[in-house]
Amino acid sequence: MELQLGLIEQSFNSRYSHWVREALDELPDSFTITDPCICGHPIVFASNGFLKMSGYAKEEVIGQNGRIFQGPGTNRRSVMEIRDAIREERSIQVNLLNYRKDGTPFWMLFHMSPVFSKEDGRVTHFVAVQVPICRQPRRSCGSGYGSNGVNLCEDVRDFGYGSCRREICSDSMVELGRVLAFDSVLDSDCRGIEVDVPCEASDLEKRRAASAINSIMSVLIHYSELTGRLVCGKRCCSYGSNLLGSSIIISLGRIKQSFVLTDLHLPDMPIVYASDAFLKLTGYSRHEVLGRNCRFLNGVDTDYSTILQIKESIRNEKPCTVRILNYRKDGSSFWNFLHISPVRNASGKIAYFVAVQIEESCNSDGFGLSPEMRHRSTVGAVRVALRTLAMGAGTSNS
């Protein structure tokens, strides 16, 4: 958990000025920001509007995957559409039934967009805006008349705060006052919601969502300029076509072992993926690792003959296992029981090399597996995670 929180902190601190959170907190919209490069694709920022809408505290949301807000009435097809958008690294708008902390359901317009690194075209984050759908489905809302004979449902819709929840049709004018306050709408009881009748977002709500995305993106772009690690809303670098997709990165993130993936076909065979465990082992942040050759782990006492052995195995496209002295970011050394193995695509050509690191002083994994078994298990898991990429490589040139 401590590692996860550290990575979440780095997710923002390494790319944006430290004022970015304060600026995002000033935005009135309900939104979350997630990082697909961290194991579990967790939420790394949640706006005050989102916390008010969902009923969760910030510490209950940060580090969680967005699926915690789904429930039995959430449409599986809509969830799959969101997953497809993540895999294809594109924007999406979809009507979605989610659940608050107290279990009450509510309809919202979910608008998600990727954030790209301007330097290399990688997806750094996904921004997801949630706009409550404030309109009833085409169905009678039952006894919606108050004690004074006023149809509260009609009055609420006239004010632009219509809802797909029956409880707003109260016979109390106090209830009407609560409904007209946006945050009270979000906190009110939802037991009468008809989850089987989808609510459709209006054009106004769609424009609100798009406007919110633009505002958030402007903040992120501005505060990335202060660090020199610029982001943008569209991929603007051709190098991005060589990158791993977000869905593959999420799959690789489920592997708990320390490992990196290097691209044989890029100049100097750089690291294109580094696991969370690798970052913990070496003390580096992700942005300090990606794009570099693995030799940065070597130091003054690293045996040169071992380095030559690794180079020879790569040249011959063969796996190898060595014991090598490596160095962490803080300068401390550790003996690395290193295994390197090629990963081939569907046509049999090598696409990547995976390098698995086990610190010699931590040979036991708590499950009785030998280091050799852990090496093989990790390589196998990486190959499974990359299977969709391998299938694509076998059928296209992209």
Mean pLDDT computed over 288-292: 90
Q: Is residue 157 part of a domain?
A: yes
pLDDT tens-digit readout, 82-123: 999 998 889 999 999 999 999 999 999 999 999 999 888 889
User: Do residue 124 and residue 156 come from a single domain?
Assistant: no
Statement: residue 12 has pLDDT above 70: yes
User: Do residue 210 and residue 89 come from a single domain?
Assistant: yes
d(CA 36, CA 253): 8
Statement: residue 299 has pLDDT above 50: yes
The per-residue pLDDT for 237 is 56
Largest CA distance in the chain: 90
Strands 31-34 and 123-132, sheet pairing: antiparallel
E strand map for 231-280: 231-232, 259-263, 271-274
Is residue 58 within 8 A of residue 51, CB to CB? The reply is yes
Residue with tokens 């990963």: 343
**The two structure tokens encoding residue 302:** 């690293």
Q: Is residue 144 part of a domain?
A: no
User: Do residue 81 and residue 176 come from a single domain?
Assistant: no
Statement: residue 177 has pLDDT above 60: no
> Apex CA 322: angle with CA 331 and CA 384, to 5°?
100
User: Do residue 178 and residue 204 come from a single domain?
Assistant: no
Residue 363's domain spans which residues? 255-395
Nearest CA to 131 out of 66, 237, 202, 72 is that of 202
Q: Is residue 241 part of a domain?
A: no
- DSSP class per residue in 325-350: EEE-TTS-EEEEEEEEEEEE-TTS-E
Q: Is residue 245 part of a domain?
A: no
Residue with the bigger pLDDT between 179 and 114: it is 114
User: Do residue 18 and residue 110 come from a single domain?
Assistant: yes
Q: Is residue 191 part of a domain?
A: no
User: Do residue 179 and residue 328 come from a single domain?
Assistant: no
Taken in order 329, 333, 337, 341, the sign of the CA dihedral is positive
Q: What is the CATH number of the domain that holds 42?
A: 3.30.450.20
pLDDT band at 195 (very low <50, low <70, confident <90, very high): low
Calculate Rg over the CA atoms of the chain: 25
User: Do residue 212 and residue 260 come from a single domain?
Assistant: no
User: Do residue 227 and residue 310 come from a single domain?
Assistant: no
Instruction: Give the number of other CB atoms < 10 A from CB of residue 363.
Output: 12
Residue with the bigger pLDDT between 161 and 272: it is 272
> What's the total number of domains in the chain?
3
pLDDT tens-digit readout, 321-369: 999 999 999 999 999 999 999 998 777 889 899 999 999 876 555 566 7
Average pLDDT, the chain: 81
Q: Is residue 219 part of a domain?
A: yes
User: Do residue 102 and residue 215 come from a single domain?
Assistant: yes
Q: Is residue 243 part of a domain?
A: no
Q: Is residue 363 part of a domain?
A: yes
Statement: residue 37 has pLDDT above 90: no
User: Do residue 96 and residue 30 come from a single domain?
Assistant: yes
